[in-house]
Structure 1
C-alpha cells in the first residue's frame, strides 16, 4: 500500500476519536502502570452471598486442563498463563475465571480454588495479560460472586481482590471506552460492595461515576447497545441485570437509588433483543456476533423475570423499526427478515463493526436461510479481516472494495453512512428502502440503494447503484443446512432440512460458490453462497416459497 494511502487510512481512522481516547492512550503509553501494592495487611468482606444463574459452560476441566473458544489447553506452569502458543483472546479467557460461576460450579470448588491460588502466586502485579484492565474487570466480578458462595476463609484472596481493584482503578479504559469502560465500572462496583473500608468506598464511587455516565451513553433510546452488535448487546444487558441483582442482594443504598433508572434501560434492552432474534431464538449476525459468548437470549429473559422485569412477549408485526439503532424486522406468518440500515457504530468506537451496510438475514419458519458471516476469530489476521468485509455479508460489493474501510482487527477508516429512506405497510406487502454512501469515496461516487419487499410467500430485493462503476457483485450467503441446486443461469432451487423449497431468481446470471459460516468463536462451517454480477445499474432478485 502506498505511503499516502496508508496515511489517508490512518487519518480517517483517528479523526473521529474523542480527545480523551487519544489523551489516555498517550498517557498510558508514556506512563504505564508498573507497580501497585496493598495499603493494609487486614482485609474483610461483606457477607452477602451471590446466587445468580449459572449459564456458561464449564472451562476448568479438572487438574490443569482448561478449554476456551473450542480450544483445549493446560496450565502446568507459571509461564502458561501467558503462553505464546495461544491467541491473546484465548489467554484473556483463561484470566477471566468464568468457570467460577459456570454450570455446576459448586462441584468444582477444589479445582477452582487451586487455580485461584495459583493465579495469585504465579501472576505478580502488574505483569502479564491478567493485569490488563479488561481481564481484570471480568475476573474481579467472577471472584467476588464466587468467594462467599464457596464458604471460603482465605484472607489472601480478599487481599488480592483489593489489589486487583486498585490496579484497575489506575488504568481505566478511557482510551477505548464502550463496553470495556462499562466492564471497568461494573467491576469496581462489585469490588466496592464486596470489600469493606475506605478503599472499598472509593472503588464503589469510582465505578458508579463511570456507570452514571456510560449507561445513558451506551444504551440508545430504542434499547439497543450503541456498538450495534447483538452479541455485545446481550453481554451488556446481562451486566445491567447483574447490577440490578447486586443492588437487591447487597442492599447498598447508593445502588438502590439507581435501580429505577437501570430497570428502565433494561426493559428497553429486552425489547430490542426480542426484535433482533431469529425465530430459532438466537441472535442475528450483524457486526461482531456469535453464539456461545454471551448468555442465550432465553437465559437473559428468564433472569430478567426473576428480577421482576417483564416485557411484552411479542414484537410488533408486520414491521418493527429500531430507529436509533438502524435495524428493522419484517414478520410474515411463514418467514421473517432483519434488515440493516444502521451506521457502523459510534463514530469514536467502530471496533466491532463489519462492512455490512444494507445486509439482511432471512428465516423461513425456524430455519435460517440467508445468513451473514458471524465471527469465529479476533486478532489482526487475514481471516479476521475477511469475516468483516462486505463480501462476507448479504449485500453488494462495488469495484471490489468494502462499503466501509475495515482494516486490521478492530479498525475502520472511512465509514458508510446509511439512511432509511422510506417504509410502507399494506395488507399484502411490507417494503423498506434504504441507501448508503460508502462507495462515494470511489472516483464516480456510487450510492447503493436497496429495497426489500416482503409478501406472504415471497421476498423481493431490488438493488440500485447510482453512479458509474466497473464491477458490482451481490452476495447471498446460505445457512450450511441449505441445499442449493442450479436450474439455469438465473434460477437456483433451495431446499431446507425439513423439505421446504424456495426458488431464488435473479435478473442476471448467478452462481453457487463454496464459502464458510462462523456461528461460534473457533468454528468455521462449510457453506454456500450465491453471487450475482451486475450487468446494469439495477438488479432485481427474488425468493419465492414453493413448498412450505
Structure 2
C-alpha cells in the first residue's frame, strides 16, 4: 500500500475502493434511486394515483400455471417443513409475526400498521419480509387448499391484501428504502400472484366478493412499478428476483399491453449469463443465495412448461448447471454449507430445493466433473472425501469485485463432516447490520483458516464494504490420495502483507493440512490457525497437545486433531450463527506458530478413524 493510501482512515479506504469498483450501471442506478427517493418524493405529484390510473378496470388473469407450479413445489416439501409453515402461518394470523427469529405482536392481526409495526429494533430485512407478504407464502405452502387452512388464517391474510391496497402509497418520503424497495416488490409480486392462484383458482369456493379484483389490481400495480425500478444499482440475486417477478406478471396477465414477460425473460437471460459461472456455481459464492437463485430459475422453467410455452435452450442449460452444482455442494447431513453470507431457514431446505428441481425435470446427476477437475472449479469449492468423512475447502475468490456485500474473508477455509455429522463449521450470519457480530462473521477469525497477527487479508467494514481483493489460485487432483493446493497473496493496496499457501492431502481415513506463510507481517506477528467446532461437539486438549473431539454426550469419539509445528494449542469459546438472529456458543481450537524470520510452516492432521490411530511419527510440518 502506498503511504498516502495507508494514512487514510479505514472507512475512507473501504468506501473509496468499493465505489471505484462499481460498474457504470450500478453508479447510474444508485444516483437514480437516490434522486427518486429524496427529490421526487418531495414533488407535489401524486405518483400513487398515476400508478392506480394505469391499472385497467377489468383484468383477465391466467392462474393455471401458478397453480400447477405450486402443486409441484408443495409436493416436494417434507412433512416437518409443511407443519412448520402451517404453525408459522397460524401464529401470524394471530398477530404474532416472526422473521429473523425476532417476533412482533400486532395489536390488530388483520390490520397491521405497515409503517409503524413495532420492528424498529430489528434490521430493515425484518420489515422487508413483512412487505413481501412472507406469511402468505407460509399459508399456501402449508395447506394444499385454502379450505384446509383455519378460517382465521385465510380471513386475516385476505384482509392484509385489502389493507395494503388501501393504505400503502407509492411516493412517500423514503419509499424506495421501505415498502417499495424493489427487492421487496419483487417478492411481494411473486407471493401475491401465487396467493391469488391458491386462493381463487380452480374450483375453490367461498372467495369473498372483490378479492380477486383486489389481488389482480395490486399485482398489476406492483408490476408497473417494478418495471420502472429494476435493480441495476444492486445487481446480484436481486436482479434474478426482478426478472422472475416480471415473467410471472406477464404470464398472469397474458392480455395486458405490457412487455413484462419479455422483459423478465430478458433479465433472467442476461443475469444468468453473467452470474452463473462455467461450473454452474453462482458468482456471489454463497450456498444460500445459490440455492435461492437456482430455485427461481427452476420456477421459471416450471411456469413456462405449465403455460405450454417452450423454455429457451439457454434457460434450460443454465438451470441444469445450477441444479447440478447445488447437488454437488450438498453435504452428508443435507444442509447447506454456510460459506460467505449463508444461514439456514432463508432458502427452502436443501432436499426440497433439489426435489423441486427433480420434479420439474432436472434430475439427479453425478457431481459435475469440472468442479473436481484441476482445470475447472471456477466457483472454488472442492470436496476431499475419505472413508470416514468429507472435507470441503474454499479455494475460490470471495465474490465479484463490484459486489462485495455477501463476501467473507474465508479464503482456503475448510468445513468437515465425520460419519455424516457436521464437525467443523463456518460461522453463518447473525444479521446484516453494521455491528460487531457482522464484522466477526465476515472476518478471517470467523473461518477455519489462518490469520496473521490482527490483520485481515482483505479489509472489511460496515455492513457490506470490502477493500482491495486478492484471488486464490487452486490446484486439485482427485486421485487417491486426493490433493488440494491453494494460495493467495494479499493485494498491494491492503494493510496486510503476506502470502498464504495451504496444502491438503486426503487418504484412507485422515486429512493432512499444511500451511506456509511468508512476508513482512509473518516476521513480526504470530500466525493462528482456527478450527471452529459445531456446538454439539465437545473438545479437549490433552497434555500431549493432541485434541479430541467427541459428541455432545462426550462418549462418542468423532475426531482427533494432531497439531504439527505449533508453539501453542488452546481452545476458546466463540459464537455460531446458524440462522438470522440466533447465536450459539461453540468451542474453537487455536493453533499458534511463529513469528519466524523466514517461512512459517505448521498445520494439523485430522483423524476420524474409529480405531483411534495415532498420527504417524514421520509427519512433520517442516517437511
Structure 1 window deviating more from structure 2 (14-23 vs 492-501): it is 492-501
Q: CA deviation at 1:475?
A: 1.0
The 1-side partners of 2:463 and 2:430 are apart by 13
Structure 1 window deviating more from structure 2 (406-415 vs 490-499): it is 490-499
- Kindly indicate whether residue 84 of structure 2 is the aligned counterpart of residue 31 of structure 1: no
Q: 1:120 aligns with which of 165, 177, 185?
A: 165
Could you report, residue by residue, the CA deviation over 1:166-188 in whole angstroms, capped at 9, with x for unpaired residues? 11122211001111111111111
- Kindly indicate whether residue 459 of structure 2 is the aligned counterpart of residue 390 of structure 1: no
Q: Please, which runs of 5 or more residues in structure 1 have no aligned partner?
A: none
Q: 1:531 aligns with which of 559, 566, 590?
A: 590
- Residue 468 of structure 1 corresponds to which residue in structure 2? 520
The 2-side partners of 1:47 and 1:27 are apart by 34
Q: After TM superposition, which residue ranges in structure 1, 4 or more long, deviate above 6 angstroms?
A: 315-318
- C-alpha change, 1:2 and 1:539, in structure 2 (3 Å) is same
Q: CA deviation at 1:335?
A: 1.1
The 2-side partners of 1:453 and 1:346 are apart by 29
Q: CA deviation at 1:425?
A: 4.3
Q: TM-score, normalised by structure 2?
A: 0.82
- Kindly indicate whether residue 289 of structure 2 is the aligned counterpart of residue 232 of structure 1: yes
Q: CA deviation at 1:2?
A: 6.3
Q: CA deviation at 1:154?
A: 2.7
- Residue 274 of structure 1 corresponds to which residue in structure 2? 327
- Residue 132 of structure 1 corresponds to which residue in structure 2? 181
Q: CA deviation at 1:439?
A: 6.3
- Structure with the bigger percentage of strand: 1
Q: 1:75 aligns with which of 106, 117, 120?
A: 106
**Contact 1:350-1:410 within 8 A present in 2 as well:** yes
**Contact 2:384-2:392 within 8 A present in 1 as well:** yes
SS in 2 for 1:338: strand
- Residue 364 of structure 1 corresponds to which residue in structure 2? 418
- C-alpha change, 1:374 and 1:124, in structure 2 (3 Å) is same
The 2-side partners of 1:228 and 1:111 are apart by 39
- Residue 404 of structure 1 corresponds to which residue in structure 2? 458
Q: CA deviation at 1:355?
A: 0.7
The 2-side partners of 1:304 and 1:6 are apart by 43
- Residue 614 of structure 2 corresponds to which residue in structure 1? none
- C-alpha change, 1:449 and 1:96, in structure 2 (3 Å) is same
SS in 2 for 1:488: coil
SS in 1 for 2:542: strand
Matched ranges for 1:409-428 at <5 A: 409-420=463-474, 422-427=475-480
The 2-side partners of 1:344 and 1:29 are apart by 28
- Residue 518 of structure 1 corresponds to which residue in structure 2? 577
- Residue 295 of structure 1 corresponds to which residue in structure 2? 348
- Residue 398 of structure 2 corresponds to which residue in structure 1? 344
Could you report, residue by residue, the CA deviation over 1:141-198 in whole angstroms, capped at 9, with x for unpaired residues? 0110110321254312211111111111222110011111111111111111112444
The 2-side partners of 1:136 and 1:307 are apart by 26
- C-alpha change, 1:546 and 1:250, in structure 2 (3 Å) is closer
Q: 1:99 aligns with which of 112, 135, 138?
A: 135
- Residue 156 of structure 1 corresponds to which residue in structure 2? 214
The 1-side partners of 2:117 and 2:57 are apart by 27
CA RMSD after TM alignment: 2.3
Q: CA deviation at 1:206?
A: 2.0
Q: CA deviation at 1:364?
A: 0.7
The 1-side partners of 2:216 and 2:536 are apart by 50
Q: 1:212 aligns with which of 269, 272, 293?
A: 269
